[in-house]
Amino acid sequence: MSRARFSPLCDYLGVNLLDRKACYRAIETRDPRFDGRFFVGVTSVGVYCRPICPSRTPKYENCRFFHSAAAAQQAGFRPCLRCRPETAPEVASWRGTANSVSRALALIADGALDAGEAGVDALAERLGLSGRQLRRLFQQHLGASPIAVAQTRRVLFAKQLIQETRMPMAEVALASGFGSLRRFNETFRELFRRPPSALRRRTSTVADTGVTLRLRYRPPYDWPAMLDHLDARAIDAVEEVASGVYRRTVSHEGRLGTVEVGHQPARNRLAVTLRFPSVRALPAILTRVRRVFDVGADIETIDAHLSQDPFLAPLVALRPGLRAPGGWDGFELAVRAILGQQVTVRAARRLASRLVAVCGEALPRMDGLRPELSHAFPSPERVAAADLSALGMPAARRTALEALAEATIADPDLFHPLGTIDEAIARLRAIRGIGEWTAQYIALRALRETDAFPASDVGLLRGAARGASTRPTPADLLQRAEPWRPWRAYAAQHLWVADAERDQTVQEVLRG
């Protein structure tokens, strides 16, 4: 089936109305390219499905098409038990044109609407919008209200826990944010016409210790590049990359645990094993995993856009599916950025390891804990109280770390994606010791701003000099990067990888 036949839907991405005929052709052929881009409600049976559902294709007149699972559920459809909409890849096709919605979704994932409808106006205020405007944007881009989105996320996450783990129902209810087991049972009986326990699959499994869940992504996915990035920056006692798996310690609301992430390429998904003493933390930890591994990237759209540039096209062709890795935690990423000012990645890693040795928190003994993972990255409070002179770095950088810790304690929303990217950069630059490069880097990795671009970065300038006799200036690079908007963060990742590969080639030649 040629891509041209689906051009109406391909052109749709981000437009208010779905092309019914194009959507129907997609579900007729079960085209995986559209998985996560829309959902189909089948009026004859009252369920909503993914475009790749293996069930018999419904009649055209029985189909209704929706921008999101929340829109389908709000319209009265229940999730299909065969194609499992909760496992569809999260694809924000409208990113770059609806940044307010993207930022709102990030905050909702962090629990911003746990208080219900009363929280919508507060969420809108954090984004610099009115409640009415935020509701309108959600309706336009997702076809559902913010509350409907939050409620659907809660139900689908609970359904995933039921079907992929052996967690007791009371823990599933708690982990997915239901206020009580009674409310949890009522919701599932109302939606699925059966108790939650009836949805449990006989083949569901759990790790020897911990809970294992799967996160789907839209292929391609350059897993080796992601692991190389994480491995090069892995902090001693906090992280490790071994046998194709990433592991790290986790701190959340004063409790400690670990997370392990592996790749299952045949099924286009990541396997995430969580070992944590509080099930309430599971959604927050999975949100961090999604952020670090850039699971929700609409990578085909991004690669196609960047490939229009003759300079980037060969790089994209060489590394299709290259993601822009995120930061595990905003404060941690900002600390790494400060430690990395004017030094190599290897030197910054050594400094971060020293910082953990000085003020990191030791993990308690737990089943399945690897000896390599012994400490959690220090909190802002620990950094603020520590004697940083033992790090052996310039006083200006120590002062910047102290100022960052104080600013993070004073403003819990410092690393949340609020306002525009320019406002975020200005907020970060107001912190003593954080300049334009550091602010742009934090925006790219921690705030997940897809258009952040630290143009003065030496690695970017070297990567952009490929095939030229001299490096461009930061101003030249900014001008060249204009056509790469709104995906300059991904262009930056391609340039960084190209520079790292060039450096590796040079080292091999020198050793040879």
11 shares its domain with 103? no
pLDDT: which is higher, 108 or 239: 239
- Per-residue pLDDT tens for 455-468? 999 999 999 987 77
54 with 114, same domain? no
- 67 plus 136 within the same structural domain: no
Is 194 in the same domain as 117?
A: yes
Q: How far apart are CA 121 and CA 246, in angstroms?
A: 38
Both 76 and 24 in one domain: the answer is yes
Mean pLDDT for the stretch of residues 245-255:
94
Compute how many other C-beta atoms are within 10 angstroms of the C-beta atom of residue 199.
16
pLDDT tier, 396 (very low <50, low <70, confident <90, very high otherwise)? very high
The CATH code of the domain that includes 174 is 1.10.10.60
Among candidate residues 49, 63, 80, 83, the one labeled active-site is 49
Query: Does residue 481 lie in a domain region?
Result: no
Average pLDDT of the segment spanning 212-239: 96
49 is known as an active-site residue: yes
**424-437 tens-digit pLDDT:** 899 999 999 999 99
How would you classify the pairing of strands 47-49 and 78-79? parallel
Within a domain: residue 27? yes
Is position 153 within any domain? yes
Which band of pLDDT confidence, cut at 50, 70 and 90, is reported for residue 407?
very high
Taking CA atoms, 203 is separated from 21, 53, 167, 194, 209, in Å, by 37, 20, 13, 19, 17
Residue 169 lies in a domain: yes
Say yes or no: 64 and 128 in one domain. Answer: no
> Crossing angle, helix 181-192 and helix 146-164, to 10 degrees?
90
pLDDT value of residue 103: 82
Q: Does 51 fall in a domain? A: yes
For residue 61, is it within any domain? yes
From 303, 329, 457, 499, active-site residue? 457
Q: 330-388 pLDDT, tens per residue?
A: 999 999 999 999 899 999 999 999 999 999 999 987 666 778 899 999 999 999 999 99
User: CA-to-CA distance for 440 and 426, rounded, in angstroms?
Assistant: 10
Instruction: Answer yes or no: do 120 and 192 share one domain.
Output: yes
For residue 202, what pLDDT is reported?
60
Domain that holds residue 19: 3-84
**Backbone φ, ψ for residue 47 (5° rounding):** -115, 160
**Is 125 part of any domain?**
yes
Distance CA 121, CA 125 (A): 6
Q: Give the count of beta carbons closer than 10 Å to the beta carbon of residue 480.
A: 16
| Domain finish residue from 184, 199, 214 | 199
Among 27, 55, 84, the domain-final residue is 84
457 is catalytic: yes
Structure tokens at 34: 């559209």
Record the pTM: 0.87
Max mean pLDDT among 87-91, 198-202, 325-329 falls in 325-329
**CATH code at position 55:** 3.40.10.10
How many Cβ atoms are within 10 Å of 351's Cβ, its own excluded?
A: 21
Residues 17 and 73 in one domain: yes
49 shares a domain with 7:
yes
Domain final residue pick, 179, 199, 219: 199
**For residue 308, what pLDDT is reported?**
97
Q: 8-22, 158-172, 495-509 — which one is most confidently predicted on average?
A: 158-172
Measured over the CA atoms of residue 124, residue 129, residue 133 and residue 138, the dihedral's sign is negative
Q: Which residue type sits at 445?
A: R
What pLDDT was estimated at residue 512? Answer: 47
Mean pLDDT, range 183-203, rounded to an integer: 86
Name the DSSP class of 240: E
The stretch 390-413 carries a mean pLDDT of: 94
**Rounded distance, CA 248 to CA 377, Å?**
10
pLDDT band at 179; cut points 50, 70, 90 = confident
Q: How many distinct structural domains can be found in the chain? A: 2
